[in-house]
Structure 1
């Protein structure tokens, strides 16, 4: 599947999602799209048929927005895992399209070891900086598309309205609008922070706009949109990690990725939260000697790794 086919399938998928909505009324625009190219109708029909085959996973009730999260660090709204207008089906269809696209011979993978960083220049004005423990895929023939499989990457993107830069992360798609942003993929959880411009989350489904100073988290608890300090986005590039009420479990993963150390936390320490800035240092003993007490914790060597636990004390 080439780039043009992928984009056409994405447009067709957007129309499948919209026309399934009982309140859809823009039939004139839909007809114009069908008539614009003879391949549009077959593509729409194929995706609609696939959509029907997956109908049992479509939510029967619309998404509702609950009250703001009680957590002071999540200043925003919470969505349920069910997606708007057949979005669960949309994710399945996008995944099917992506499989064909990413299996092409011109796709290449870049991987960094924990503690290692690497910069990939894609086109003039667009670069991706990979933090440690990261795996990404790129297209030799399309500098405007990438996939983050795991780890963390910072994106500095040259804006092109006619050909926006897109990043797939799991079943999600992020589209830039002239942007500097950072994405973390850990297990099935994804978080993104935007420091310049704007990013659109799933432009053909939820279409959540994330301007500078906004962040999004998607995990087993759903979607959460919140504020973020712009200078905290991709702060690992400046040798620091900045947080606002972040759980120690998340901080531990960030430290391990950035420094290349094996790090775990006791259950009690993992549930604690921290607000502040942690300076990175390549010497683990020196780093934990400063960072652990800052978080109200102590650090203990465990074989070739470290353990964070409750209590303020020097590392040992």
Structure 2
């Protein structure tokens, strides 16, 4: 709420015709934190000016209102954009500042590579291949999955829940082991122990063990899954229940570090079963493709899954 109010004042005070300095001063004096939030947004002004072309204008301070604590209005750019757009841009810049501070660090794995990150609070995060995540040295209860796949074994703390941000979504731990995949506009999560809350301040969908959620361009779906299928890539296998081959292809490519594609017909097919991972692509596709009722053809450095001669086995 405070951030929204501060953004509102930033937008209004940027207007060259703004004159309600008495109300603005009253808002600043109502809570010492108001000035800090407002100043933080204004500190992003230089970066915002690089994003949105600006025409500098001066705002005069009424002689009888110099503002509290020696505060003085500054020289702001005049933006040719609506207030809502300014707010969105400012919020984005502030988020960028937070994510770029020295305490935030990034961990990346190559396709086919895995890595485990042990956080100070006792939480363990296992990154599958082709994954990028951000962590905070000052807050072991924060993680952000920018792309790829990661399995989380979280030390539960009711007073300070562990949160994972994925795009605009937030997953909050409620004593949990879970796995998240994020690729493009698609996010899916499976829970094997405890419970995860999806977007606790919005939808607040509870996902106990044995439940999964997928959010993509077609909408939001919640379904049942086998708990032991969650993050099965850690045991060298991929387990599915009526999953599209297009999804399976992405999982294989990430886990084995191979370039993999599927024809439209093959990608739309569905498979139920377990696929054993093998670092030898020739051996792997020789076993996995027929299991899914498909053929695997090598084209240069890319493998292509095509419709086979029979149904999945």
Partner of 1:182: 179
Partner of 2:281: 284
Secondary structure in 1 matching 2:289: helix
Secondary structure in 2 matching 1:143: strand
1:170–1:263 CA distance, 2 compared to 1 (3 A): same
- Give the TM-score of the pair, scaled to structure 2: 0.71
How far off is 1:98 after superposition? 3.6
1:259 matched to 2:252: no
1:123 matched to 2:129: no
Give the distance between the partners of 1:40 and 1:214, measured in 2 at CA.
Answer: 42
1:237–1:281 CA distance, 2 compared to 1 (3 A): same
Secondary structure in 2 matching 1:250: helix
1:231 matched to 2:228: yes
Q: 1:190, 1:219 within 8 Å by CA — same for their partners in 2?
A: yes
Once the two structures are superposed, the pairs formed by residues 196-215 of structure 1 within 5 Å of their partners are: 196-215=193-212
Secondary structure in 2 matching 1:99: helix
- Give the TM-score of the pair, scaled to structure 1: 0.71
Partner of 1:217: 214
- How many residue pairs get aligned? The number is 245
1:168 matched to 2:165: yes
Give 5+ residue unaligned stretches, structure 1: 1-6, 13-36, 56-88
How far off is 1:188 after superposition? 1.1
**Residue number among 287, 301, 306 corresponding to 1:304 in the alignment:** 301
Give the distance between the partners of 1:233 and 1:125, measured in 2 at CA.
Answer: 21
Secondary structure in 1 matching 2:273: strand
Moved more, 167-176 or 97-106: 97-106
Moved over 2 A (4+): 7-10, 37-44, 52-55, 91-101
- Find the structure with the greater CA-based Rg: 2
Give the distance between the partners of 2:187 and 2:294, measured in 1 at CA.
Answer: 26
Give the distance between the partners of 2:122 and 2:298, measured in 1 at CA.
Answer: 43
Once the two structures are superposed, the pairs formed by residues 12-23 of structure 1 within 5 Å of their partners are: none
Give the distance between the partners of 1:116 and 1:9, measured in 2 at CA.
Answer: 40
Give the distance between the partners of 1:96 and 1:171, measured in 2 at CA.
Answer: 15
Partner of 1:72: none
Give 5+ residue unaligned stretches, structure 2: 7-30, 42-81
1:139 matched to 2:158: no
1:98–1:224 CA distance, 2 compared to 1 (3 A): farther
Give the distance between the partners of 2:198 and 2:84, measured in 1 at CA.
Answer: 23
Give the distance between the partners of 2:161 and 2:91, measured in 1 at CA.
Answer: 18
1:97–1:243 CA distance, 2 compared to 1 (3 A): farther
Secondary structure in 1 matching 2:260: strand
Q: 1:95, 1:171 within 8 Å by CA — same for their partners in 2?
A: no
Q: 1:94, 1:171 within 8 Å by CA — same for their partners in 2?
A: no
How far off is 1:101 after superposition? 2.3
Give the distance between the partners of 1:213 and 1:166, measured in 2 at CA.
Answer: 20
Higher normalized contact order (CA 8 Å, seq sep 6+, divided by chain length): 1
Give the distance between the partners of 1:229 and 1:184, measured in 2 at CA.
Answer: 17
Partner of 1:195: 192
Q: CA RMSD in A?
A: 3.0
Partner of 1:32: none
